[in-house]
Structure formats: structure tokens, C-alpha cells
Amino acid sequence: MFTTLALVLSCLAFSPTLAAQVNNGSFGGPVIELGDAIIFPGEDHALLPLLITSETDIVSWQMGLEYDELLLSFDEVIFAGTESEMLQPILIPSPALPPYLGLQVIYAGGNSLPAGSSVLAAYLKMSLVDINLIPDGSSAGSGVGGIANESNPVLLTDLSGNTVIPTVIPGAVTAFDFPLFLIESQQATALDTVLSIPIRAWTDGPVTTFAMGLEYDEWIVCELTIQGSDFDDLTQGQWTVSEQPTATGIEITLESTGGPVPALSGETLGFLVIAMPLSVPGSWVIDLADGASFVDQSPVGNLLDGVITWWDHFIRGDANLDGSIDLADVDTILAGAYRGIPFPCPDAADINDDGAIDISDAITALQYLFSGSPQPPAPFPDPGPDSTDDPLDCL
């Protein structure tokens, strides 16, 4: 059973005059995307991100939602921490108390949501109707989709009052019972040669032994460290760890030798130290193997795998990939251009972005450092992709 909710974020009523201005955006342009969210063990709600992609600034947006009303309740729209936070959003819920059937939000004071890709516009607070609906040791979930009907169309409205029907990408909310193991997902750039990936656990009582099986690609070089983790602190360093290699990964058993550790709520058991694979850029999954994870003698069925991604992102001019531009980068450019020493990231060494690496790049770097010349082209000063088409790459 589903409930339909209206997110009516509009300065204008949907009238026949306005309807005549509507253009269908299903060609793949404007998008409203509902992300995924997790209700962790012991918690009762999650914040579902809502992201908007548009080539123009948006003064309003509206949509309906559908989800399993027996499991979830849509309680609130939260703007804190989003692009909407400082745009004076006015929320008018209907009815006055949750669960809401309709919501109206107006960006006041001449404000508008900026154009861009996947702009975080709001969080939707999705609460469990009853925590007892989650099966013991398992999980329950619901898709959260956007719908349109005559009363609640899906629309984006720009500064000129023009409207478009965006594509809506659905999301999902999953609620978990104890116990739960999770490997964090992380993203990296060319500057990150090593990642430290936390392994987290949720338990509802004292536990002495944690066991898990990890599976990962043959390109991955993975080491486990316990030092500095919450488990290390909770046991005051009194623990043992055994690692048994398998054909596809490793089996790990972690034991507290000083007595059981108290119930955990996402504390770290340890960290997977992963070196940048030779085959970057790309994404790799670190799997928690089914049937190989336990707390003491009890199996853990709730396993959330991690995904690590290395993007071909860099800082223009940071030829040696140390995160800054200085004389060392000039040396790297000259050594590569005239002595044949391989560049860590050829695209970064091309500081003037002309598609070649030569003396002009060294001169451009020196002018930027000492003559007050304009900053290098994008990506700068933060890592990002190369926005120009040339024969150079990074990873």
C-alpha cells in the first residue's frame, strides 16, 4: 500500500495559463533525483536526499511521492546543510501535522536554487511507522518514487516563470535490525595513493568475537589495521586478530582478550588500507561474503559492501600530485619534458591547458607563482576532471 505525497514548491498556482508554458523535459535534461537512505539499527528515521539537475536557476519545484505507508512516514522537509538553506525557503505543509499529504515551499526574497548538476535541494525525513516491523536480524525497505497527476504535477519553474517536466529518478529507504557490518564507500582522486576504509559494526549487546569474510578484485592490495580504531580503544589494546587468505579475498577474526566490548552503534572495528590499483581510474567493490560473518557464534545477515572509486581528477599545475603548486612542480615539468622522466599526471603538468607539455608550462607556472599571473585553468584550485579535449590524461 502506498501513500501519495505532494511536494509543492511553487510561487505560482498551476493554472491553464501556466500549463501552456510547460515543456516536456523527459529528453534527459532536467532531473529530480531521490537518493538512497539507511535507517541504522536502533534508529527510527533517515534523511533521504533530493537533488535537482537543471541548466537554469529554479524558483520552485513540485512533485508527488509514493512509498510503503505501512513501513514509512514522510514527516518533514529539512533544508539545513543543503543549497536551499540560505534561500529563505518557506514551507507550508498540508495538513498542519505530519504525515503530510501536501507541501508548499517558496523561495522568498528573489532567491532561486542555482543551476547545476545534482544540486542538493532538500532532505526528506522518512520515519519508521513501527520499529517492530523489521524482521529480527534482517531488514525491511521501500522504494520512494516521484509521481505526477492532475493535482500534483512534477514540475520545475525558472526565474522567468517557464516550467518543465523533469525526469524523476526514484530512491529507496532500507531499515536494518541488529547486527550489522558495514564497509564505508569512498571516492578518491589522482592525489590519493592510499585509502583507509573503515569497517563499522552495530550490535545490541556485549560481543567478544567478530568474524567476517571479505572478497575483492585481484587488482586490490588490501591490508587490515586495528590500531586507532574504536575497537582498539574499547579493548584498551587487548585484542588478537587472525587473517586467513582465500581465493577471492580474506577471512578475518577479531577477538577482545580483555572481555566483551559493549553494544556498538557504528563504531569502527578496523580499517582496510587500500593502495591505488594499477588499473585506475575505476570502481571496485569490497564485498562482505554471505555466510562468513559472525558476532560470537551468531551469524550476521545484514552486510553492507563498500565501493571505492578512483576518479581521473587532478589540480591543474600540480605536476607532482602533492596537492599544491610550487617550484617542485616546475622541476617535475622540466624533468618530464626534457629528461624523459614519467609524469605522475600528464594532464596536471599541462598547466596552460594547450594539450602539450613543454617549456611554456614551466614558464606559466613561474609566472603564476611569482608574477601575479591569473590562476591556471580548471580544474583549479580543487581537484576535478579535465574540461578540455586533448590527448593527455592523468590516471
What's the rounded Cα separation, in Å, for the pair 371 and 300? 61
What percentage of residues in the chain have a pLDDT greater than 90? 80
Level-2 CATH architecture, domain 2-176: Sandwich (2.60)
Give, as one character, the DSSP assignment of residue 314: B
Check residue 375 and report its DSSP letter.
Answer: P
Helix axes 359-370, 327-339, angle to 10 degrees: 170
- Which cell numbers in the block locate residue 15? 493554472
pLDDT for 150 equals 67
Helices (H) and strands (E) in the chain, counts: 5, 28
Average pLDDT, the chain: 89
Q: Once rounded to an integer, what is the mean pLDDT over residues 234-256?
A: 95
10 Å CB burial of residue 199 (0-12, 13-18, 19+) is: buried
Give the pLDDT of residue 102.
60
Question: Binning pLDDT at 50, 70 and 90, where does residue 27 land?
Answer: very low
Confidence of residue 80 (pLDDT cuts 50, 70, 90): very high
Please count the other Cβ atoms lying within 10 Å of the Cβ belonging to residue 17.
10
Residue with cell 589495521: 225
Nearest Cα neighbor of 357 from 347, 367, 365 is 347
pLDDT band of 221, cuts 50, 70, 90 = confident
Assigned CATH topology for domain 180-310: Immunoglobulin-like (2.60.40)
* 1-5, 91-95, 237-241: the lowest-pLDDT one: 1-5
More confident residue, 28 or 187: 187
Query: Where does the pLDDT of residue 26 fall: very low under 50, low under 70, confident under 90, or very high at 90 and above?
Result: very low
Assign 5 a pLDDT band (cuts: 50, 70, 90).
very low
Q: What are 300-305's contacts with CB under 8 Å, separation 24+? A: 300/179, 300/180, 300/181, 300/212, 301/137, 301/138, 302/41, 302/137, 302/138, 302/139, 302/176, 302/177, 302/179, 302/180, 302/181, 303/180, 303/181, 303/182, 304/38, 304/180, 304/181, 304/182, 304/183, 305/183
- How does residue 95 score in pLDDT terms, banded at 50, 70 and 90? low
- Cross-strand partners of 24: 165
Are 386 and 347 spatial neighbours (Cβ–Cβ below 8 Å)? yes
Range in 6-10, 42-46, 131-135, 358-362 the model is least confident about: 6-10
What's the rounded mean pLDDT across residues 318-333? 96
Residue 185, C-alpha cell as written in the block: 564507500
Q: Which residues pair with 125 in a beta bridge?
A: 47, 76
Eight-class DSSP state of 159: T
Domain positions in the chain are 2-176, 180-310, 315-395
Whether 89 has a pLDDT exceeding 80, the answer reads yes
* pLDDT at res. 16: 29
Q: For 1-14, what is the mean pLDDT? A: 32
Report how far residue 12's alpha carbon sits from residue 157's, in angstroms, rounded to the nearest whole number.
9
Residue 14 has pLDDT above 70, yes or no: no
Lowest mean pLDDT among 25-29, 32-36, 297-301: 25-29
Has residue 196 got a pLDDT over 60?
yes
Q: What is the mean predicted confidence (pLDDT) over 345-365?
A: 95
* CATH class of the structural domain 315-395: mainly alpha
